[in-house]
Structure formats: C-alpha cells, structure tokens
Structure 1
Amino acid sequence: MALFPAYANDSETKNPNEAISKTQDETWLENSSFKIDVIGSQASTSGSLEHGGTGSNVNLIGTSESDSNESDVAKQPKRKKKRKKKVKHHRNKVVESETKQDGDDFKIDTTRSREFLTVQTIARPSAPKYKISFKMYRPLKTSKKKLKRYFHFIVEKQSSEKETKLTKQDLAKDISVERNEDFTGFKQEEDMSQMTALYNRSLGENPRDIDMWLKYVRHQDAVFQFEKVYRKGSMAKGLRVTADRKLTILEKALSHNPDCELLMRERLNISVSAYPADELQIQLKKLVEKEPGNIIWWQGYIEASQCSMSHCDIPAVLKLYAKCLSTLHQLRRNSVLEKSHLEENILRMLYQCGLFLKQSGLFEQLWTLLRLYLELNLSPTDKNKFNILSGFEEKQLVELEEVVLHSQLPIHELWLRVERLREACHWLPFTGDSCEDPQRLVFPEDVAELIHPITMPGNTFKLTATILTLLKTPLLPCRHTTMQGLGLDYVPWAVDSIETLLPMFFPLYPLNLSNKNLLRDTQRLAVGPQYLKTFPGQEEYLEFLLTTTKNCVDCLNGKEKTAVSVWWFRFQRLLIVLDKEERFKMSSLFKKKMKSSMKQLLKSEENRNNVIFYQEYALIEHELGNFESAINVIITAIQMYADGKCILNITNEEERTVICSLYRILVELHLNAPSDIETNKQKALKYLVNLTLGRHIKNMNEFLTQGSLNETTLKFKHVTLQLLQKDPPVLMSEDHFLPNFFTDWIICNGWFLYLTKGAIECGSFLEETLSSIQNQTWQKEVLFEFYIAILFKNSLEKPGVGMFRLLDDALYRAIENFPNNLFLLSVLAKEQSLNCSLGQPWWKLTNLLMKTGHAIPSLFLILIANQRTCEIEENWIDTVTGKLFSEGNSLTNRMVSLFRRMTSLEMCTRRCGLVWRLYLQFLHAHFDPSLCRKAYYRAVEECPWLKVCIYFMYT
C-alpha cells in the first residue's frame, strides 16, 4: 500500500526490472491526480517525447490546447478589486520547478505563508509603560568610555597564525611569548612606564624641584588605579602598598630637601590616612625624638591621640601640648639664630591648643590661658588689665533655667537647652566660693605648664592676633598671605563655627556682593559663647570682645597699636553690614554705645592726628547710610594733611602712603554711590587728577581737559615704572592691616585707566604688573583682588560672554594662588548666583576648590551648592504644572556625593567640625534617622573632642 493514494497505480505495476530503465522513461513524471509537463522546456527543444503518454508540449506560461485537465494549469487573469487610494500592480509569476532527488517520496515546502507574519501584540492596558525624564538642571553626559570592552570589537583569528601555548611543563624553559597588542591596558601601562622614567630622570637632574616630587607622589594614585583594574587584588593591600610607595618617595625627597614644609605635610597626611592610630603614634614619636624642633611632627603626634576614639582624653592631650611647648621653649633658650622661628612655633602650638580647648567646650580654661599670656607679655606691670567681667547677671540665667525645667519636655531636650544656655552665658571662670559646676572652677595652676614668654618684638602682634582669633574675632580682611604670616592656616580642623567665614560679607571695593542665599543659616551655625544669634549673653559677650580688643590696643605701641585699632574699627563696621543684611540684630542702644566709643577713641590726644582712624570712621559712616558725611570726613583729612601737595615731591614714605590711601578711598566712595553714577565717575576722575598733579581738593569746578588727562597718564606711568623696578619690600604681619603705597598707587592708576580707557586697557595693565611680581606676596594678592573687582564690575555694567571668560580665567588663577582669600571666594559665589546653572560646570568648581588642600575653599563648595539649590527652588517654575520647582533627586545625590568625598580619608576636611555639622543637618532634612545615625558615629570617630557633635545626638 502506498503512502499517498496518488502513487497507488505506480506501485502496483512496477517491478525490479523496470527500475533499471527508469532514467530513460518519463512515465514517473505523470500523476493521475495532477498532470503537468514539468520539463516542457526540454520537450520544446527536442521535439516529441519518446514515451507515448498523454502528455504534450506545455509552455510554462501561456495557454495549452483546450483540455479540461490543462485548463487548471493555465493562469487565469485576476479581477481587480476596488481600492480607495493605492492600487497594487500584480505581475505574472514564474512557477518554479521543484527539484526532487531520486527515490524521495516527499517535497520541501519553501513557499512562505503571510499569515505567519502577523503576531498578536499586547493590548494597551497590559502593555508596559516607560517613563523617560529629562532634567534641565542636569548636565548632559559627555564623557567617553575609557576602557574597550570585550564585545566592542570582534577579533578574527587567522588560521595561518600559530599561538604559542605555555604549559606547566614549559615554565622552566625559556620560551618567548608574543605580547598581546590588543590588550586594552597595554597602552596605559606603557604611558605610566614612560611617566615614571620621566619623573626619575627629572628628579635625578634636579632633586630640589618640590613640585616635581609632589607630582611624582600623586602619580602613584594613577598606578594604583591601573593595578586595581587590570591586576585584581585586595583593595586594602593595594592602598597600603601605594602608601608605602609614596612614603618611600617622600623620604628620598626629604633627604634632598630636609626643611621643606610641603613635603613634610604631605608625608604626615599619607601616614595618617594609611596607618592605624597605635602604629602612627609609634612612628611619629620616633620622628619627634629625632627632630624635637619640628612642629609638623609634633602636630601629627598630638593629633594621633586627639583624633583617636581610644586615646582621646583631655588631660592626656593637654599633657602632650605642654610637653611640646616646654620642648620648644628649651630649644629657644639654647638657640640664638632660630629664636624667632621657635617662638613662632610656640604661637602655632598655642593656637592649636586653644582650638582644642574651645571645641571641647572648655571656654573657662581657654580664657584663663589667654589671660595669663596677655598679662605676661602685654601688660606685665598691670596684672588687672584683663580681669574683665562678663556683665551677665546670674539671676537671669537661673530664671531661664527654671522656665526650661518646668516646660515638661523630654529629659534629653531639657539637658540640651540648659546646656546651651550655660554655654552662651558662662565663658569666664567662677570667682566665688562654691560652684555647682566643677568645670567653671579653673585656677592658674591648671594651665601653668602651657604658658611661656614671647620676647621677640615681631611676635607680639602675632600673639595678639592669635588670641583675638581664638576669641572669635574674624580677620578683616581675610587674605591667604595674612593667615600664613600669622600662622593660622596650618590647622585643617580650625573651622568649627561660622565666625571664621564672616569676612566674606566685608566690603573691600565698590561692588555689591550681597547674596541672601549664601550662608543662609548664619545664626543657626553659631556656637556659644557667640555674638550673632539673638540669645541670652549675646550682647554681653560682644561687649566683652570689644573691651578685650581695646585693652590690647592700650598695651601696644607703634604700628602694632595702629593695626589692632584698625582691626577694631573694621570689626564694628562688619557688624553694621551684617545688621543691614539682617544676618545679625543690633539694638539701637548698642549702636549708640558703639559709635560713642569710636568717637571717644578719635578724640584722644594721641589719635587726633592719626588719619587712618578718620578714614576707617568715614567708611563706617558710609555703611550707616551717611554718604555726604563720609565724603566730608575724607576731604577734611586731606585738607589737614596734604592739600595741594604733589605726591611726586613728597619724600616721606609714610606721608605719601596716607595721601594715596585717602584719595583711593575717596574715589571708591564715589564709584560706589547709589545715584548719579556718571556724575560721580567724573568726580572720581577729577580726584585722581588732583592726586597726581597736586591740585587743591576743592577745585572741583574746573573742567577736565585732554592736556590734563595726558599729563596725569604720564605721571602715573612714570611713578609706576619706578615702583616696579624695585623689589616689593618684605612686610611684617601688622603691615597687612595698614595702607600700603605700592598697592594703593597701582589701584589708583587702575581706576584712572578704567574711567578713561575702559576695563580691557586696565586689565592689560594689571596683567603686566602681576607678571612683574614673582613671589606670592601680599601685594600680589591685593592686586589680584583689584583685578577681579574691575572685571566683575565691568561684567555687571556691560555683560557679555567675553568679559565673563576673562573674569573666570583671572578668578581661577587667583584662587589657585591664594585659596584662603574670602573676597575671591565671595566673588566666585556671586558669579554663580548670577549665572545659576549657566555658569561654570560643577566639575570645574570641584577641581578648583578641592585640590587646594585647605578647608575654607572646600567649605565654600558646600555653600555654593546650597546656594544653587535655594535659587532653583525660589526662581524656577515647572512649565507643565506652573508651580515652583522642588528639589530633585539629582541635587540631593550631588550633595551626598560631595559630603562623602569631603569626609573621605584623603581629604583635610574630614576632621573639620563645620563640615560635619552641615553634613548632619543635610541628612536630617532629607533622609531617615538610620543614615543620620551612621554619619553621626563617623563624625564622633573622626572628631571625638568636638562637643557640638554631642548636641546633634540629642536633637
């Protein structure tokens, strides 16, 4: 029986003999159910078929003879269907022959079925939805992939290539293996080898190149990253190996440069981040015994105990400070050449010890230490000069505590409020017979081991500045070179409260840098005793601080006395500025009292002829809103001192300095006038002409001629060339608070060029001047400030892309050279507030401010990020909903990443109290308490002596 009925007849008649002639017989092509001449094309060429069957010549396309069987084969014309728009043209298709092998009883179906192309899709309710969001404030990712992944390129191996296989038996043999050029890290490894060879060759030729040594040390980080990616291994082991490499390089560098502070500081930072506290103490103790006069090793040795949870004990840490100070004192007594340097080291360690006492909450002990230093070195004859009373009534504090205790709050909240009240009101030791709080009972014997005399004349002002800074008086203005000269920049954990950053609001040039979103929580970040927040003891502590400063003025002489007096005037001017910006509330009674004390100082006989004091008083009048009164004070001082004198004919250096400073203040007051801008610019230009030509100050009705302007230009150029040909004099620390003829004359020349020829000409003049000053001196820093002020002022008046690019370039260069300058940082923050997200990219700001190695620029990065967030929430509106834009996840994640980077091991800000306070406040506002708790434990681990962190636990 056949498999298919169509082949039933054939299977019955066939026999084995007929199979031989099958190839010559074509009857097998016929089928009773389907007859067609498949090889019709062959039959048409050969004539008739040899087999006498029923088939005939049939064309592949066309009609055959009228037969009922053949009519099915012929192709019938199709009827056209009616279509609306498009008509498909059908073509006749050739029927392809299906080849079949001999003896096969099946065929392969290769005809496609269109029905299989239709796939039922999921209906819309069940279909998944994908949300693609686009954030305007998120920068687009433009970074390319650095590594070539294995699936990016298909490497086809040729059969002709023979790979060399290495087995265990061949390890002992010397078999050369071809290196794989397609290895993705091969190029990087070659580059690093070339860089290492370059460093070795350069340092071998010039081992005194400090920058090259530091670059070589930082190059080890790139080597570690390469090994982490391509040579998988333990992370902790890799970090330790990298630290050992760096230390080996630094030891070799210190052998060639034994007195380099930068190399020693780098070695200390690497040791602190790589070794545990016990091992670090052992290493640093050996270094201290080897070099007892090296203050950097002493600092690291003390911090190894102070910053360790297991070793941080206040009496033990104070013993280490006492041991360090006594060692430095003994070395000073036995030394003659380095006596001044050792005294400066004593003042540095005094500053660090005072910071430890202040941040630990031992303010009574701190004031006792500072008072004894003042009595020993400033007023040895009058021991009661600094016995200042607080003026706060104890009964008022008792009443406030009773109100808190009767408020029925939880116990932890009661403790926190009472402790803050006592901290704000108690900063002096208790002088009575009995006291409930033993911390307030401080005797001179408790701090006697920390007290040493300061005998060198130049260090008396540094001692005064150190004490006033520890009492929370900000440096005004706060410049990088001033902090370096006073020894206040080498402690990275010095910033624990907001008072250090207040000079950012101090006006220096005729610019409006007010920014309400920068440092919005001024009062919240204050730590008692304080004078910013409206709280019990606020005015009493402020009055105590002003009285202490005034008593220091009475004990000093010469330039030091004038410098501290100027500092006292500027501090009160800063308080007025803060009051205007509503960051600090000052009562009208205290204002009157403050103004009467300034007038009383000016009326004293020794200060009546001091023009610098009248200049500072005029600036205070201007901040109070009395513009005309301020101008009259300056003009009166000029008439008294040198009216009509040509500055070229004055030989007295002090007299020339005072005259130039008065004219500079007069010009800047007119340029900062709120109204009649063009008129005041003309007045300022006339004052500059009077300065150079020696005209009378009241001859302001004369018109400016081109001849007088040309003569003024020549005289400015002549004096400026004379000043630039000389080397700038080395300034003492007190000179940073006083007028300087070199900087004031260059600034007056710059204002003249700005008013006559524009900002571009003034900028080119300042670029030439800055390039002529080689060292990073105080004069160069002041001129950089003025350069930035000119560019920023012109950018506000005539905004344009080109001016902002010049401003960014100059500002970045200035911050790289002087990172602790708060005026430069405030200009950077103001520029970011003007441009918002259209300013410099975030990565540029991060690289600029975090690579300096100082805490203040890194803190400003946090403040700028908070400022951006506040401006987005206040000004941005959602175009879809019409509501104010809320803080997105990207901004929150950016802040979290920034805080984590700042508290990492390699950053100097990981022990900065203010950074941890901002971090904890941010987490408390945006995340759950568990994350805040983890960050709090980390803060206590890094800063175990910081008392303000304990307050956060109770909140």
Structure 2
Amino acid sequence: MSLFPAYGGGRTPAASSAKKTTKPGEEEPATGANWKKNESYIKKHVDIATKEPESDSSSSSDHSEEEADKRKEDEVTKTKKLPPGKPLEFDATDGFYVDKLGNSSYRHITTLKKPARPRYKSRMKRLSDREYNSHGFSRAHSKFSRKRSRYVREKLVDEPGEDEVSRLQEQLTRTKVLVQQDPEVLDHWLQLHRLLNLNLDKANRLAVAEQQIYNLETALEHHPSNQQILRLYTHVANATYQASEVARRFEKMLKRNPFQYTLWSNLIMVTQGDMACCNVSAVLRIYEYSMRRMHVGHNDEITRRFIMKETDEIMLKLFHNCLLFLRQSGHTNWMFALIRLSMELNFPYLTFECLGARAAREQPLIGFEEVVLRSGMPMPEIWARVEQLRQSYCFLPLKDRRASSTDVFKDKMNDERYFGSDKLVPYVHALKSLNNRLHLVLVVVQLMKLPLIRSACLADKLNPCIEDFGESEAIEMLFAAMVDRHSYAVASLQYEFDAAMINLAREMSVTPSYMPHLVGHKLYAATVSKMLLKCAEIFNGDEPKRRLLLILYLRFQKLLIILHKSMGKLTKKYFKNKRTRIRKLINLTDNRNVVGFYTEQALCEIEAKNYRMAFSIMGRIVTKKSEESSHISCVDTMHLYLVCAELHIHKGRQAEAIGILVSLCLGKHVPINQKTVHSKKQVLEGLRNAEVMVRAELNALDTQPAEMTLEEYFLPNKLLILLRAICLIEVLNNRRRKEARKWLNDLQNDQFGPEAVKDSERKRFIREQIMEIQMLHLRLSFLVFGQVEFYTGFKMIKLDELLEKGLEEFPRNMVFLQMWSSLKTIMWYRQRSRLIRTKAGVASLVHLVVAVHHRFGIVDDNDKFSKEATRMAVCNRLISMIETFLPTNVDRLEVEEEHYRILRRNSIYWRLYMMCLSKTNASFKRSKDVLVMAMDECPWDKSLLMEGARVLPVELASLQDLMTEKEIRVFAMPEEVDVLRGL
C-alpha cells in the first residue's frame, strides 16, 4: 500500500468497497498520473436518478467480502479485550497502518555487545494506557532518593492526630494564662510563639502572623532588650507585611527603644534591600538619623531604663555598615572622605594626607584610557573598561575643586569627587570613650580590604550579627589564613589550596584593590600601607597597640609578596624594594628592640623562598638576646623559637627542631642554626618544666578579666606557645606517648569545656586555639610518619570528626574552614553538607567553591586532554550547589533556607552564579532571570550590575539607567565616553 494514502490509488479493501466502482468497458485510470492530486477534498456529484443497478459480479464480490469480514471479527473476539481507557484519535477506517501493539523485536540489537547496547524502557505499553509515573519504580529515581537520604536523615513529620491537636490546644490555652500571670518569664513568650506558629485552628496565615506580632510586641514591653524576641519580631514582620509597613513598625518601635542595633539594621535593610525603595539618599538619611541618635544618647527618662552602658558600640557598627554601603554602591570617594574626617575628628593631633588624591599618582590613568578608546572594541566593552580604570585610580576624594587628574570634563569630575562639610558631618561623630579608638581603627582598616580576622571569636567581636546585615563583598577578606598562618610546620599541605583561593579571587575581586592582576593595584596598596603606618602613630604612648598596627603592616607586605608570587609577578626589583622598606621601618629607634617585628620580617623572606636569609635574621636576634640574658623571658622570643622550630620541621630537619623546642621548654637560649643533640633525659626535663609553666599560666588565668582586649587577639600568648611546643615534641620525639594529647582533651572537657567558656570571652578564645593545636597534632603526625594515631583521651577520633566539632562551635574560624575544604579523603557529600550547615555566611560558600576547584585540580594536572570537560563539570557542579539555596528549589532544607537569608544580600553569591552560567553557555533568558532576581535582593551593589553588563551586554543601557535611578556612582558617563572616543 502507499505511504501516503490520501495521494494516489493505493486503498485498503475496506476503503475501496465504500467508493464507487468503475463501469464495465472503462479502463481504470493510472495512479501514477494523479499522484499530485488529493481527491479527498473534492466533492463528487452523484445523480441518483441516472444511477445504474449493480451487476451480479458486484453482488458476488460483496458476498465474499462479507465472509472475510466475519472471519476477521471471529479472530478479534479470540484476542484479549483492552481495558477501557482514553478514546483513540483514529478508528479502523483509517487508510494507513497503526502499530497498536509493541513489537519486541525492536527492543533488541544483535549487532552491539551488551555493555554498549542502549536500554529501551517502555513507559506506555499501549496507547490506551493511562498516564504513567516515570518516577514510580525508576532505578535512577531510587538512586537519587538514596543520595538525598545522606543529607536528610530525619523522617517526615506526620500531621498530628485529633488527640495530639487537642493536647496542643490545651497547652496553648494554659500558655496564654501563664503569659498574663507571669509576663516577666521569657520562656512563656517563646512557647506561645511556637504554639501559635503550629496554626492548630487552621486559620488564615495572615491572621496567625498578626497575632504573633501582637504577642511579640507585648513581650517587648516586658523584655525591651531581649535579642531573641527582637529577631523573632523582625522575621515575622518581614514575612508578613510590605516594606513600607515594616519600616513604619520599626520606626514606631525605635521611638520607644532607640538603642537596639537589631532594629536599626533591619530598618536600614528594609529600605536598602527593597527594589522600589532603595536609593542612596534614602538609605543615608536613615544612617544620619540613627548615628545622631546614638551621639545624643539617653536624653529622657524613658530611654534611660534600657540596658545600654554606652552608645559607642552601636555607633561603630552603624558606621561600619554605612561605609560598607558606600563602598558597595561605588561611592569610594565618599567612603574615604568619611574615613578621613572620622580619623581627624577622633585624633586631632594627626593629619591623614594619605587619604587625599594627588594628580601625580593618577597620571597613568590618561594613558590607559587612550589605549582603550583607540582599541576599536564595541562601545559597551569600552565603557566597562574605562569605568573600571577610573574606579581603580580615582577612588580618593579631592581636597578642593581645582585639583584634577585630567583636563577633560574637569568641572564635572571635580564636583563628584569633592565633598563639603554638609555631606560628611551628619555621618561622623566623636567617640565618647577613648577605649574604643582601637576598635575604630580596626574597622577602618578592615573596610580597606585588609584581611585581619582569622579567629571566630574576633569575628564575633568586630563583625557580629551577620544574619541581620549583608557581609562584605570583598573576596580579599578570605586571605586571613594566609596572612597569619596557623603553623608553618604543615604549610606545605596548604599551598595547593592557597593557589585555588587566589585563582578564585582573581575572578571575583573588584576595583579598587591590591590584587596584582588589576590595573592600579600599586596605588591602592600604597594607600593601605601608608594608612597603617599613620594609624601606628596614633598610639605612640600605648606600645601594645602601636606594635599591633605595625605587625598588621608587616603582614600586609607579606600578603602582597604571596599574591605576586602566586601570579608570577614577584620580580627581584619588587622584592628588593619591599625588603628595603621593611628594614628601614625596623631600624627605627622605637622598633629596633621589638622581636616580633624581626619574626614577621623572617616570614616575609620565607614566603619569597629565601630560607637562608630568614634563618640568618632569626639567628642574629637569638644571639643578641642570649648576650643579654641566658634565660628566655620574653613572649616574643618564645614565639620566635617556636616559628623557627616549625620552619625546621617544614624543611625536614627534625633533630634541629627538637633541640629548639626543648630549649624553649627549658627557657634557655640555644643557637638555632646549629644542630643540638638532646638526650632523652633532657627532653623529659624540658617537658616537665613546660608542664609546670603551663599550670602556672592556667592558675593565673583565673585572675585575668573575662573580656579580652582587641590587641590580645593578635599578640603571642605564652600558654598557647607552651602547649604547641609540648605537642610538637611529642610528635617528633615519641609519637606513642599520649600524655600531651590526653592533657589537651582534659582541658577541652574540664577547664575550657562548653559550659565553662559561656561567660568568659578569654576562655572561649583559648578553647578555640587549643582545638587548632589538636588539629595540628593530627596533621603533623600524618605529614611526618604517613599515619595518624587517632587517640585523644579516652576515645578514638579522626581529623574530620574533630574538624566537624570545631566548625560546629566556631563556624567563622578561617583555619577550620580551610582545613575542611582541603580534605580529599572524605566523600564529597560529607564535605558539602558540612559547609552548608556551617553558619559562616559567604565564607562557607567561597570555601565550598574552592573545595570544588581544589578537587578537580588533580584532574587538570593528570589529564591534559579533558580540561574543557573538567571546566564544564566544575561549573555545572557550582551551579547545582548555588541553586540548592534558592527558593525555587522545592527540596530545600531548613538549614539551606537559613543560609540563604545571609547569602541573598551578598553580591558574591549572585556574581558567582552569573559567572558560572556564562561559562556554561547558558541561554540569555536564564542569565537575565538570575540578574533580575539578584537585583531584587541587592539593588544597591554596583559590582553586581557591572557583572550583569558583562554577561548581558544587550541590557547595558537599562543597567546604566538603573544606576542613575539608584544614585550609584558612575565614574564614566556613556555620553562622555562617546565624545572621548571621537576625539
């Protein structure tokens, strides 16, 4: 029969019997001549009156056809009847073949072997079958369910029955009575909020939320400064009402209690994080009012009853958030102008000229702009590069309107870079207490992208409440573990991870920055260095604080050496200039006798691979100190001995390291460049002497205040130095000894246990550092002997279990995050789930990304022909991880939802998402949807909009209009660039 029955004469018997037969004597027309004509749509006229009677031959043919039809009906009745289903779109009168039954021969391929043979699964065996659930018994779906069980180990909570509901309703009634009788009990209010959230009456969610808000407002009248109730109130209000209504409620509460940082930060974020309300002027008005209110302080009897000793702490937090907002919105000129005014206001005896713009420093900008303008690139690319160049060079404010770095559009540029007193004074106020001056300096230094927070305790002291406010968008802040290395004994295990971190920072860094691959990095690095030296002059009368600022300066120089070395830009000339500047600084009269400065100088030489020079520096200091006294009495000298011993371990010289450590424990000087052999008796004597000193330090710890000063976080600690020395001796000398490990475990459980450190900031910090020493002990055992004896106290424990415990208690510790991300011996799902559960904000996300690159880095080295496939695999895995936190993920866990509340306000999260989409050649629609979602969460962030312009050049005009609408700083107007290109 014909493939196309409507064309031609090929017909089935049933179809031909229904049509008119040919007359006798006429020849049947050839089918080939009429194949182009479709006769199905031609209506033929039949004249009934002139129709001739049918012949006998036709009757006989009809009789034979009826018998054939009966036989077919008998055969159909013998077959199994199909179950009733959906009606078919065809019947038996169709003139083409319909495959109603599956042919099993099509499911087997005899020419292929079994491993290469594709498997064909029938989802609908018959067309009349009902819809089939493909996930019912699918092996892939069962495998997916098994993987999900790794993350979700809790069973689904069934809906409560009638008895349970009645019991909970009775409990709710009793709780309401208890709240009225004893409103001063906090637990009653929290239990009432939890029971109302269950919605036992199945009421409208809006009604339930309003009832919760009413009860929380009543609770705040009795507990006005309780942070737990304040967080519950802000969370319910943000989820219930629109931004304007939430802001009105927060303003009403702030009139009654103006000294709550939680309310101020949420009020600011309601305006700053809303796409419709976000505007630089509107946000700054709230900052102006809040900081003026903090400066005025308690001015009436109503506000005096709130528990608040001083307002400097809140004002410093608000000042930090204000400068962070200006930096993220591109107003770096405004930010540095506020920094300069605040420093000169609180330290009137100094002038910070290093924060002022100079035309001579910005001269290279003109040459770079001319190269870009004459490059012939598309206009969007030219504008983006000119904008980045000006942002790199023109970040400092002008002192007057006449100073300028270029003659083109001179007045316009000067007006935007000059700030009068009316733009600065409302946001800057003098501190009320002189004890907070160092806090102000560290806030300023941190906002200049200097990574100085390595400890979780220090992070809680300087940058608390990350869930209320967006974190820093500076990727450079994650270099803290490289600036202040945990231990040089195991530094070789971190070099690969450091390289992966730096490679990620190259893609995510934003100008102005000191990253060596960016244009203008020298100007910004020089500004930060001069600022640190200027801040050191503030504390000329306070030696610990002055030393702290100079140590930060030396560590910043060390970071620059590490970055230049990692990017292949560490030249002899560059390092020689660094070495000369460091030597000039140390040779000053006030710095000549500070041992800690020489230690940092030696570490700079170590990072540049000049081991001989480093040991020479430390040897000269030890020789000089041994001439002054035969005993080690200075904590800085003890730290120098410890660093020297770790460097010997790093170089594989264990005997020299043991000799230096034993001398440290005995408190006697020894030449560090010579091999000193100690007997077992001397080693045991050194350990006993160290234990005596440790017990003395533990006894003295009870007499010290519970709160630590900021400088104590950065300076060496004698107790921690001795504990680390004891552990290193035990690993190198006799790894089967378990006294030190048992001792550390006892300290962690008793004197520095979880309950003992709750009310003591000092003990909590020491507990964190002791946990770092335990991890160093295990890692060094693996590095030296190739195996680890997982014994600490009375139970077996592995490094990954110890790290999980550390991340649970100290989630923002950079050493723990780096160690966990660099592990390659654990399964990926464990590594991923732990970082997701770690409440460290964007730090945990970035370490998760670096862990992916770190794992796939092995594939790149061994397989040179699959780099592109590996890169795509990395991007796809990153996209999958990023989408895990999104609200569009129906399988999102509660932990991931809480993590998203922090990540959604950080541009690093969204920029990383768009960057991975662009690398995988995703559709423009998908990238645009992500950009719209990102702008809805971070409408003030300039780096996010610039990334959107790079990924979606078509939307550049709309993004530029959005920058103008939100008052985001634009250094190069499109019209200006167009005119400059035509010159």
Same topology, TM > 0.5: yes
Output the amino acid matched with 1:130.
Y
From the superposition, tell whether residues 358 and 685 of structure 1 become closer, same or farther in structure 2 (CA, over 3 Å). same
Aligned match for 1:897, one of 864, 878, 883:
883
Aligned match for 2:818, one of 813, 826, 839:
826
- 1:338-487 mapped onto 2 (5 Å cutoff): 341-378=310-347, 380-383=348-351, 385-386=353-354, 388-389=356-357, 393-430=361-398, 431-433=400-402, 434-437=410-413, 438-475=415-452, 477-487=453-463
CA shift for structure 1 position 853: 6.2
Output the amino acid matched with 1:568.
Y
- 1:50-129 mapped onto 2 (5 Å cutoff): 122-125=103-106, 129=119
Aligned match for 2:779, one of 789, 792, 795:
792
Partner SS for 2:531: helix
Does structure 1 conserve the Cα–Cα contact (< 8 Å) formed by 2:536 and 2:549? yes
1:313 counterpart = 2:291: no
Write the distance in 1 (CA, Å) between the matches of 2:854 and 2:507: 16
For 1:4, the equivalent position in structure 2 comes to none
Output the amino acid matched with 1:808.
D
From the superposition, tell whether residues 618 and 381 of structure 1 become closer, same or farther in structure 2 (CA, over 3 Å). same
Write the distance in 2 (CA, Å) between the matches of 1:806 and 1:610: 40
From the superposition, tell whether residues 754 and 842 of structure 1 become closer, same or farther in structure 2 (CA, over 3 Å). closer
Write the distance in 1 (CA, Å) between the matches of 2:208 and 2:610: 62
CA shift for structure 1 position 426: 0.7
Does structure 2 conserve the Cα–Cα contact (< 8 Å) formed by 1:371 and 1:386? no
For 1:907, the equivalent position in structure 2 comes to 901
CA shift for structure 1 position 825: 0.6
Partner SS for 2:251: helix
Provide Cα deviations, 1:485-531, integer angstroms capped at 9, x if missing partner.
23466464222121111224332202231224446332221111111
Does structure 2 conserve the Cα–Cα contact (< 8 Å) formed by 1:374 and 1:386? no
Write the distance in 2 (CA, Å) between the matches of 1:825 and 1:312: 34
1:579 counterpart = 2:564: yes
CA shift for structure 1 position 941: 1.2
Does structure 1 conserve the Cα–Cα contact (< 8 Å) formed by 2:835 and 2:848? yes
Does structure 2 conserve the Cα–Cα contact (< 8 Å) formed by 1:876 and 1:885? no
Write the distance in 2 (CA, Å) between the matches of 1:885 and 1:538: 29
1:601 counterpart = 2:585: yes
From the superposition, tell whether residues 801 and 632 of structure 1 become closer, same or farther in structure 2 (CA, over 3 Å). closer
Output the amino acid matched with 1:543.
A
Does structure 1 conserve the Cα–Cα contact (< 8 Å) formed by 2:196 and 2:212? yes
Partner SS for 1:660: helix
For 1:812, the equivalent position in structure 2 comes to 804
Write the distance in 2 (CA, Å) between the matches of 1:890 and 1:368: 43
CA shift for structure 1 position 778: 2.3
CA shift for structure 1 position 369: 0.6
Output the amino acid matched with 2:809.
N
- 1:836-847 mapped onto 2 (5 Å cutoff): 838=827, 841=830, 844-847=833-836
Partner SS for 2:913: helix
Instruction: Kindly report the root-mean-square deviation, in angstroms, between the aligned alpha carbons of the 2 structures.
Output: 4.4
Write the distance in 1 (CA, Å) between the matches of 2:330 and 2:732: 53
Does structure 1 conserve the Cα–Cα contact (< 8 Å) formed by 2:266 and 2:469? no
Q: Which moved more, 1:611-620 or 1:514-523?
A: 514-523
For 2:598, the equivalent position in structure 1 comes to 614
1:917 counterpart = 2:894: no
Does structure 2 conserve the Cα–Cα contact (< 8 Å) formed by 1:875 and 1:884? no
1:561 counterpart = 2:546: yes
Does structure 2 conserve the Cα–Cα contact (< 8 Å) formed by 1:138 and 1:890? no
Aligned match for 1:691, one of 664, 670, 674:
664
Write the distance in 2 (CA, Å) between the matches of 1:114 and 1:316: 79
Output the amino acid matched with 2:525.
L
CA shift for structure 1 position 114: 14
Aligned match for 1:331, one of 297, 300, 320:
297
From the superposition, tell whether residues 140 and 213 of structure 1 become closer, same or farther in structure 2 (CA, over 3 Å). farther
Write the distance in 1 (CA, Å) between the matches of 2:608 and 2:670: 25
Provide Cα deviations, 1:197-245, integer angstroms capped at 9, x if missing partner.
69999x9999999999989978988x58xx8xxx9x89xx54x567557
TM-score, length-scaled by structure 2: 0.70
Write the distance in 2 (CA, Å) between the matches of 1:199 and 1:705: 75
Write the distance in 2 (CA, Å) between the matches of 1:136 and 1:522: 39
Write the distance in 1 (CA, Å) between the matches of 2:594 and 2:221: 52
Output the amino acid matched with 2:601.
Y
Does structure 1 conserve the Cα–Cα contact (< 8 Å) formed by 2:513 and 2:521? yes
From the superposition, tell whether residues 889 and 621 of structure 1 become closer, same or farther in structure 2 (CA, over 3 Å). closer
Does structure 2 conserve the Cα–Cα contact (< 8 Å) formed by 1:468 and 1:549? yes
Aligned match for 2:149, one of 137, 143, 154:
143
From the superposition, tell whether residues 535 and 517 of structure 1 become closer, same or farther in structure 2 (CA, over 3 Å). closer
Write the distance in 1 (CA, Å) between the matches of 2:217 and 2:517: 52
Output the amino acid matched with 2:256.
K
Q: Which moved more, 1:291-300 or 1:396-405?
A: 396-405
Write the distance in 1 (CA, Å) between the matches of 2:589 and 2:418: 41
Aligned match for 1:887, one of 873, 877, 895:
873
Q: Which moved more, 1:293-302 or 1:744-753?
A: 744-753
TM-score, length-scaled by structure 1: 0.72
Write the distance in 2 (CA, Å) between the matches of 1:747 and 1:212: 47
From the superposition, tell whether residues 933 and 196 of structure 1 become closer, same or farther in structure 2 (CA, over 3 Å). farther
For 2:48, the equivalent position in structure 1 comes to none
From the superposition, tell whether residues 658 and 518 of structure 1 become closer, same or farther in structure 2 (CA, over 3 Å). closer
From the superposition, tell whether residues 710 and 187 of structure 1 become closer, same or farther in structure 2 (CA, over 3 Å). farther
Aligned match for 2:742, one of 749, 760, 764:
764
Partner SS for 2:258: coil
Return 5+ residue gaps in structure 1 as ranges: 1-112, 150-182
From the superposition, tell whether residues 684 and 306 of structure 1 become closer, same or farther in structure 2 (CA, over 3 Å). same
Write the distance in 2 (CA, Å) between the matches of 1:885 and 1:535: 24
Provide Cα deviations, 1:2-23, integer angstroms capped at 9, x if missing partner.
xxxxxxxxxxxxxxxxxxxxxx
- 1:706-725 mapped onto 2 (5 Å cutoff): 706-725=680-699
Write the distance in 2 (CA, Å) between the matches of 1:217 and 1:878: 59
Pairs aligned (count): 778
- 1:31-42 mapped onto 2 (5 Å cutoff): none
Write the distance in 2 (CA, Å) between the matches of 1:206 and 1:135: 53
> Which structure: larger Rg?
1
CA shift for structure 1 position 621: 1.7
Aligned match for 1:682, one of 655, 663, 674:
655
For 2:943, the equivalent position in structure 1 comes to 948
For 2:847, the equivalent position in structure 1 comes to 860
For 2:708, the equivalent position in structure 1 comes to 731
From the superposition, tell whether residues 845 and 188 of structure 1 become closer, same or farther in structure 2 (CA, over 3 Å). farther
CA shift for structure 1 position 733: 0.6
CA shift for structure 1 position 395: 4.7
Write the distance in 2 (CA, Å) between the matches of 1:253 and 1:621: 59
Does structure 2 conserve the Cα–Cα contact (< 8 Å) formed by 1:285 and 1:301? yes
CA shift for structure 1 position 196: 11
1:524 counterpart = 2:493: no
Output the amino acid matched with 1:436.
K
Write the distance in 2 (CA, Å) between the matches of 1:792 and 1:802: 10
Does structure 2 conserve the Cα–Cα contact (< 8 Å) formed by 1:645 and 1:695? no
Write the distance in 2 (CA, Å) between the matches of 1:465 and 1:418: 32
Output the amino acid matched with 1:538.
H
